[in-house]
Amino acid sequence: MKHEVYRSRYWNIDQCTIPVGKVTILADFCKGGEDCDDCIRLCPEKVLERSTVANERGFFPPLVIEEDKCTVCGRCQLYCSENAIFIEKIGERTVNAEEIAAREEN
Ligand code: SF4
Ligand code: SF4
pLDDT digits (tens, 9 = 90+) for 34-93: 889 999 999 999 999 999 999 999 999 999 999 899 999 999 999 999 999 999 999 999
Ligand nearest to the backbone CA of 42: 2
Q: Assess if residue 54 is contained within a domain.
A: yes
What are the pLDDT digits (tens) for 1-24?
A: 444 444 445 566 777 889 999 999
**Nearest-ligand number for the alpha carbon of 35:** 1
The answer as to whether 27 is a domain residue is yes
48 lines ligand 1 (CB under 6 A): no
- The more confident residue out of 103 and 26 is 26
Q: Domains in the chain: how many in total? A: 1
For the CA atoms of 63, 58, 56, 70, what is the dihedral angle to 10 degrees?
20
Q: Which domain holds residue 75?
A: 13-105
- Say what the pTM is: 0.84
96 has a pLDDT exceeding 70 = yes
Q: What is the CATH number of the domain that holds 17?
A: 3.30.70.20
Residue 65, phi then psi, degrees to nearest 5: -110, -15
59 in a structural domain: yes
Note whether residue 7 is domain-resident: no
